[in-house]
Amino acid sequence: MGEVLRGLTPEQSRLLLEISLEARRCARGAGDVPRDFTRTGKDHVEVGRILEVADGFVELLDGTFPADPPGGAWFLGTGEGWAVMRYHGHCLNKPRFAE
């Protein structure tokens, strides 16, 4: 299991991984999500976008999620696979919720 789960027991970590894999399986079986169940304002959300995020979460849980690329962080859920969200240097040293 990855570092994300340091506070969980091995049994809790295993159970969370099992639940995540089952949720992914259910999402795949259900297909695209209709507008009534999304907050995107679009007619539907493609299941492929959901599976990208689910796969990333499972990889975090099992410790196989790759380290961030230089100068950015991984961004999933676009429907186009792994993307890089570039860091903006002027924002990195500011308080997160500055007034």
Count CB-CB contacts under 10 A for residue 35: 12
| Domain encompassing residue 33 | 3-92
Q: What pLDDT score does 99 carry?
A: 47
With a threshold of 0.85, does the pTM exceed it?
no
For residue 99, being part of any structural domain is answered with: no
Number of compact structural domains in the chain: 1
Q: What pLDDT score does 25 carry?
A: 94
For residue 98, being part of any structural domain is answered with: no
Helix axes 10-30, 47-62, angle to 10 degrees: 170
Q: What pLDDT score does 56 carry?
A: 92
DSSP letters for 35-62: GGG-SSSSSEE-HHHHHHHHHHHHHHHH
pLDDT tens track, the chain, 99 positions: 444 567 888 899 889 999 999 999 999 999 888 888 777 777 888 899 899 999 999 998 888 999 988 888 899 988 888 999 888 766 666 555 554
Q: What pLDDT score does 2 carry?
A: 43
Question: What are the CA-CA distances from residue 62 to residues 76, 79, 91 (Å)?
Answer: 17, 22, 31
For residue 33, being part of any structural domain is answered with: yes
For residue 20, being part of any structural domain is answered with: yes
